[in-house]
Each structure stands twice: as structure tokens, then as C-alpha cells.
């Protein structure tokens, strides 16, 4: 059990619950100094102390212990491929990866970078999917470009779908080969 990961996890759980170190000490039956040492990574708590902390924080002991960041290339690949749900409905390409990312956020190596980049890309793509046909329609109505037909709209939408599909598949290969992901264009809605 890595003391630093455990310290970070206890402190994060405590602050998420909005409780002070003093209150956690009182609820767990541990001394304030023990709580401070655990959160500073100065000591490794015993099994009994972990159980007490878990009860006081209203979580399972596994949520406190299982905080070490692991490598899981299969999950990263699965997360990346989940964006292909945009083929069924554009917003699914945002929602499904977001749910999968938040379920394992901070627990898998490189998941935060991938999750944010993928979701930012999918949001940007969805905006473009609705924006580009609207611009084409406005241009045709103003008369700046003549002869924009319905097939032009379908071609533009088809090219956007193809671009998204190819980008997701290329990044899946990059994840498998342990290379950096490249999701562009993307507006940074979620900070990386």
C-alpha cells in the first residue's frame, strides 16, 4: 500500500464530504494527530484504522486502499472506442465516454488526458456537425454560393462522420501502440 496514494485518497474523500480533520478524528475514534500523519503520508494506517476511516467517511475500505493508479490499456481502448456511439446518435459520442471516464477517473494511468481530449473533441465535432450545415444553408439563402443542393448537406455531414470515425480509430491504434493521442480540432471545454 503506497502511503502517498493513501494520503491523497483519505484527504480527497474527507474534503469531498466537507468534513474537517477534527470531525474525522472524532467520528473514526482516531486521534487528530493520526489523521494528520495519514493525510501527510507520514504513516501507514493499520487495517483497523482503515476500517474506522472507511466507516467515518461512509465508504468501503477498498475505496480507501484501492487508490493506486494502474495501467489498463484495455480500458483506455474501450473508453476511446466508446466514442463510436456517435454513429447511433451524436450526443452518445459525448455521454458514453464521459460516463466511462468518470467511473475510473484518477484510477488508471493516462485516463484523464484521454478522457478530456476525447470528450473535448466529441463536443467540438458535435458543434461542427450542427454548425456547418447551418452555415451552408445561410450562405445558400443569402446567395453567396449558388446551387447548394440537399446532397451537398449530406456530403458535408457524411465527411464529418467519416472524419470522426477515422480519428477515433487512429487514436485507438495509437493507444494500443502506447503513443500519444491526437484529437484535433478540439475546443477545451474540459481543461487538460
Among the candidates 65, 82, 114, a domain finishes at 65
* pLDDT tens-place string over residues 56-76: 998 878 777 765 567 889 999
Give yes or no: residues 21 and 86 share one domain. Answer: no
Q: Could you list the residue range(s) of the whole structural domain that residue 56 is in?
A: 3-65
Give yes or no: residues 46 and 77 share one domain. Answer: no
* pLDDT tens-place string over residues 132-168: 888 877 887 787 667 777 787 888 899 999 999 999 9
Q: Inter-axis angle of helices 47-57 and 21-28, to 10 degrees?
A: 110
Q: How many domains does the chain have?
A: 2
Q: Find residue 130's DSSP bridge partners.
A: none
Answer whether residue 161 is part of any domain.
yes
* pLDDT tens-place string over residues 98-138: 999 999 887 788 898 999 999 999 999 999 998 888 887 78
Query: Which runs of consecutive H residues, i.e. helices, occur in the chain?
Result: 3-17, 21-28, 32-39, 47-57, 61-65, 73-81, 92-104, 111-142, 150-176
Stretch 84-90: mean pLDDT, rounded?
Answer: 95
Give yes or no: residues 47 and 77 share one domain. Answer: no
Give yes or no: residues 25 and 115 share one domain. Answer: no
189, 173 Cβ separation under 8 angstroms: no
Among the candidates 49, 65, 81, a domain finishes at 65
192, 113 Cβ separation under 8 angstroms: yes
The CA distances from residue 130 to 54, 82, 143, 150, 183, in Å, are 47, 21, 20, 15, 19
Answer whether residue 26 is part of any domain.
yes
- pLDDT band of residue 83 (cuts 50, 70, 90) is very high
Q: What is the pTM of this model?
A: 0.64
Closest of 76, 29, 106, 96 to residue 175, by C-alpha:
76
- pLDDT band of residue 6 (cuts 50, 70, 90) is confident
Instruction: Residue 26: give its domain's CATH number.
Output: 1.10.260.40
Give yes or no: residues 35 and 101 share one domain. Answer: no
Give yes or no: residues 56 and 110 share one domain. Answer: no
Give the pLDDT of residue 125.
94
Amino acid at each position: 500500500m503506497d502511503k502517498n496514494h493513501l494520503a491523497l485518497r483519505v484527504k480527497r474523500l474527507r474534503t469531498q464530504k466537507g468534513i474537517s480533520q477534527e470531525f474525522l478524528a472524532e467520528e473514526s475514534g482516531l486521534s487528530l494527530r493520526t489523521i494528520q500523519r495519514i493525510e501527510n503520508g507520514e504513516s501507514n494506517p493499520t487495517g483497523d484504522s482503515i476500517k474506522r476511516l472507511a466507516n467515518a467517511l461512509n465508504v468501503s475500505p477498498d475505496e480507501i486502499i484501492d487508490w493506486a493508479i494502474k495501467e489498463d490499456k484495455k480500458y483506455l481502448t474501450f473508453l476511446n472506442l466508446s466514442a463510436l456511439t456517435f454513429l447511433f446518435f451524436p450526443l452518445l459520442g459525448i455521454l458514453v465516454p464521459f460516463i466511462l471516464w468518470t467511473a475510473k477517473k484518477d484510477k488508471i494511468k493516462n485516463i484523464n488526458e484521454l478522457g478530456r481530449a476525447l470528450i473535448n473533441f466529441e463536443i467540438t465535432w458535435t458543434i461542427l456537425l450542427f454548425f456547418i450545415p447551418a452555415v451552408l444553408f445561410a450562405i445558400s439563402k443569402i446567395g453567396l454560393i449558388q446551387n447548394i443542393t440537399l446532397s451537398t448537406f449530406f456530403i458535408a455531414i457524411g465527411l464529418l462522420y467519416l472524419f470522426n470515425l477515422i480519428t477515433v480509430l487512429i487514436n485507438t491504434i495509437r493507444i494500443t501502440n502506447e503513443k500519444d493521442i491526437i484529437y484535433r480540432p478540439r475546443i477545451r471545454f474540459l481543461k487538460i
